Structure 1
C-alpha cells in the first residue's frame, strides 16, 4: 500500500508542476474571474450607450405617438425626424444615426414600417421599434372603433394561463428555468472534467512506456497498483484545479452578489442552488471520472507512442460526447421515456441521471439504482482493466488495434 501512495503522489506532484497545468490553471482562473465580473463589465459599456434612429413619417401624424411609445419601451433609443432617405444615409455614414424607420400606410390603410441600417444583426432595436409601432397601430384602430383606453387594454391583455404540477415535490416553472441553467453549467463541468483528465491518464501511461520508465516501475510496483494509483493521482489533480476555480469564483462573486441578484446570476439558478444538487454533481462527477479513467488507463497501456493515444481512446471520447449531447436534449424534456431509460446505463448515467435529479423529482430508489450500477460497472471494469493493464504495459511496438486487448490478457495470464 505504501508503494501505491508513492506512485499516487508522484503522479500528482509531477503533473502539478508541469507548465501546461500551471498555464491552463491561470487561464481558467482568469476566465472565471472575468465571468464573475461580466455583469459589471456589461453595465459599464451599456449604461451610456444611446441609439439614435431617424424617422421618415410619410403619414404625417405618427411620429409624436411613436416617440412617446418608444420612450416607455427603451429609454436608450432616441428618435429623430428626417426629411428624406438621402439625408438619413448621410447621417448614418457620419455615424450620427444608427438607422432609420420609414412609416407609411399599406394598401389596407394600415401602418407599415421599414427599418434600414448598415447592419441588422442587432435585432433588439428593430424589435423595440416593431413593438412601439404595433402599439401605435392598436391605438389608432381603437380610436377608429371608438374604444376607450380601458377597452383597448382589455383586448390587449393575454388570457390568464397558469401551469400547476400535480406532483407534490415538482418544481415550478421558474424553478425549472433556474435549474436548467444551473444543470447546463454543471453538465459542462462534468463533461470537461471527464474528457480532459481521462485523456491525461492515457497520455501519462504512454509517455512512461515511451521513456522506458514503465519497465522500472513494473519491477517495483505491481501494474494494478500503478493503474489505480495513477487514476487517483490525476483525480487529486482535478480536485485541486476545480477547488482553485471555485475559490477564484467565490472571491470574485462575493463582492458582486447584490448586483447579480435578479440578473443572469438568478437566471442560471445560483441564487436558489440546493445542497442536494451540489452533492449529486460531486458524486456523479467522481463516478464518471473513475469509470472513463479506468477505460482510458487500460487502453492507454496498449500503445507505445504518444501519437497513438488519441486514436486508441477515441471510443471513450465518443461515449462522453454522446452522453453530453443526449443531456443537452434532455434539458428541454427531462421526463422523456428514453432519457429515463438511458439514465440507468452506466456509461451515460453520470450525466443523464444527474440531469434528471437536477431538473425533476426522481424517486430515491432510481438514483440509488443508477449509482449502484455505476459502482458495480467501475469495479468490474477495474478488474478487467487491471488484467489488460498488467499485460499492456509490457507490450511494445506499433499498436492501434483493439485486438491487442486479447494479447494483453494473454500476457497477463502467462505472467
Structure 2
C-alpha cells in the first residue's frame, strides 16, 4: 500500500510542478479574468463609450424626430445625428470614422417611410436590426394616423398580450428558477466536459509516456499494474481538483467585483444567486463519477500504446463519447423533459452530463437520480475490473499497437502471468 501512495503523490506533484500545468493554469486564469472583465475591456477600446453614432439624412424633413425617439426607446446606445450635408459628404465622414453608418429616410408612393442604410461594413447585424425595428415603429404610427386611429386605439394596438405560464406538476420550477438553473447547468456542463477530456487525456498520455521511456518495466517489478493505474487516476484527479479550485476562486472573486457591469448580459438573465445546495451536491457527484468513468477508460487505453503519437488515435472514440454527451446536453437545455433526454440520461457514458442536466432543471423523483448514480457506480466498477486486467497485460506490450484488437492480446498476457 505504501507503493500506491508513493506513485499517487509522485504523479500529483510531478504534474503540479510541470511547466505545461503551470502555463495552462496561468493561461486559463487569464481567460477567466478576461471573460469576467469583458465589459471593462471593451470600454477601453471603445472611443464612444459604447455609443453607436449613426448619421441620419432625412429627405422628408419630418421623420428624424420620431425615428430618433423610437431608436432611443429600443437601444439607448444608438446615437442618431442629423446630417445636413450631401450623401457623398456623409460617405466620406463614414470613411474617416466619424460615423458608424448612414441611414437615409424618405417616403414611398404611399407616404410611408422607407430607408437605405450604408456603412463601411454591414457585419453588425444588431445595429441594423435595431434601426430597422425603429423605422418599423414609425411606419406603424404613420399608417395608423392615415386610417384615423385615435391615440387610445393605437395604444391598444401596441399593448402586449397577456400570456401567463403555470406549471401543473407539483413542486415544478418557476420560470425564474428555470433560468437560474439553466445558467448554472450551462456553466457546469462546460466544466464537466472540458475537465473530463483534458484530465482523461492526461492519464492516457502519462501511461504512454512511461511505457515509451521503459520506466514501466522498472515500476511493474515493485508495484502491481493495478495499483499503478488507480494511483495515477487518483493522483491526476487530485490535480484536476487543485486546478479547478484555482479557476473557481479566481472566477468567483472577479465576478463579485464586476457583477454590476455584467448584470445586463448573461448574468442578468441567468442569475447565480441562491443556488440550491442539492444542485451543487449533484454537480460534485456527477463530476467525480464522470471523471472516474472516463479516467479508467483512458488509463487502460493508454496502456495499449507504446508511442505517445498513437495515444490520440486510441482514445478518439472515448473523446467522441464525451462530445456526444455534451451535444445532447446542449439540446436538452431547451427541452430537458424530452423523452430522448430521459432515455439517454441512463446511458452510463452520457449520465454524468445528461442526468445532471435533468436534476438541475427539472423536479424529478429522487430515485431517478439515485438510479443514474448507481448505474454510473456499477459501470465504473465493471470498467475498473476489466480495465485493470487490460492494463496489467497492456503495460507489458511493446511495438506498434494502436488497434482495439490489442485488448485481446493484453488480456491474454494477463492470464499467462
TM-score of the superposed pair, with normalisation by structure 1? 0.95
Distance 2:292 2:229 in 1: 11
- 1:59 is matched with 60
The answer as to whether partners of 1:176 and 1:359 remain within 8 angstroms in 2 is yes
Give the 3-state SS of the residue equivalent to 2:99 in structure 1.
coil
- Stretch deviating more after TM superposition (176-185 or 387-396): 176-185
Q: How many residues align?
A: 415
Give the 3-state SS of the residue equivalent to 2:221 in structure 1.
helix
- 1:89 is matched with 91
Distance 2:268 2:390 in 1: 48
- Following TM superposition, by how much is the alpha carbon of 1:34 offset from its aligned partner in structure 2, in angstroms? 2.0
TM-score of the superposed pair, with normalisation by structure 2? 0.94
- Following TM superposition, by how much is the alpha carbon of 1:108 offset from its aligned partner in structure 2, in angstroms? 3.5
The answer as to whether partners of 2:112 and 2:142 remain within 8 angstroms in 1 is no
- 2:413 is matched with 411
Structure 2 vs 1, CA of residues 83 and 33 (structure 1 numbering), >3 Å: closer, same or farther? closer
Distance 2:311 2:134 in 1: 59
Deviations 1:177-229 (A, max 9, x none): 33222212111110111011111111111111111111111111111111111
- 1:21 is matched with 21
Distance 2:338 2:115 in 1: 43
Distance 2:227 2:390 in 1: 13
Give the 3-state SS of the residue equivalent to 1:254 in structure 2.
helix
Aligned residue runs from structure 1 range 112-261, under 5 A: 112-261=114-263
- Following TM superposition, by how much is the alpha carbon of 1:113 offset from its aligned partner in structure 2, in angstroms? 1.8
Structure 2 vs 1, CA of residues 215 and 123 (structure 1 numbering), >3 Å: closer, same or farther? same
Deviations 1:91-131 (A, max 9, x none): 21222222211222234432212211111122232223223
- Following TM superposition, by how much is the alpha carbon of 1:4 offset from its aligned partner in structure 2, in angstroms? 1.1
- Following TM superposition, by how much is the alpha carbon of 1:43 offset from its aligned partner in structure 2, in angstroms? 5.1
Show structure 2 runs of 5+ residues with no match. Answer: none
- Following TM superposition, by how much is the alpha carbon of 1:141 offset from its aligned partner in structure 2, in angstroms? 2.5
Distance 1:53 1:404 in 2: 66
- Following TM superposition, by how much is the alpha carbon of 1:259 offset from its aligned partner in structure 2, in angstroms? 4.5
Aligned residue runs from structure 1 range 297-376, under 5 A: 297-376=299-378
Task: List structure 1 runs of 4+ shifted beyond 6 angstroms.
Answer: none
The answer as to whether partners of 1:194 and 1:289 remain within 8 angstroms in 2 is yes
Give the 3-state SS of the residue equivalent to 1:54 in structure 2.
strand
Distance 2:76 2:237 in 1: 52
Structure 2 vs 1, CA of residues 413 and 305 (structure 1 numbering), >3 Å: closer, same or farther? same
Distance 2:51 2:248 in 1: 37
Distance 2:338 2:366 in 1: 18
- 2:38 is matched with 38
Distance 1:223 1:93 in 2: 69
- Stretch deviating more after TM superposition (254-263 or 403-412): 254-263
- Following TM superposition, by how much is the alpha carbon of 1:150 offset from its aligned partner in structure 2, in angstroms? 2.3
Distance 1:53 1:392 in 2: 67
Indicate whether 1:283 and 2:305 are aligned.
no
- Stretch deviating more after TM superposition (256-265 or 93-102): 256-265
Compute the RMSD of aligned alpha carbons. Answer: 1.8
Deviations 1:150-170 (A, max 9, x none): 221111112111111111222
- Following TM superposition, by how much is the alpha carbon of 1:384 offset from its aligned partner in structure 2, in angstroms? 0.6
Structure 2 vs 1, CA of residues 351 and 57 (structure 1 numbering), >3 Å: closer, same or farther? same
Distance 1:330 1:269 in 2: 19
- Stretch deviating more after TM superposition (337-346 or 149-158): 149-158
The answer as to whether partners of 2:83 and 2:90 remain within 8 angstroms in 1 is no
Structure 2 vs 1, CA of residues 339 and 50 (structure 1 numbering), >3 Å: closer, same or farther? closer
- 1:379 is matched with 381
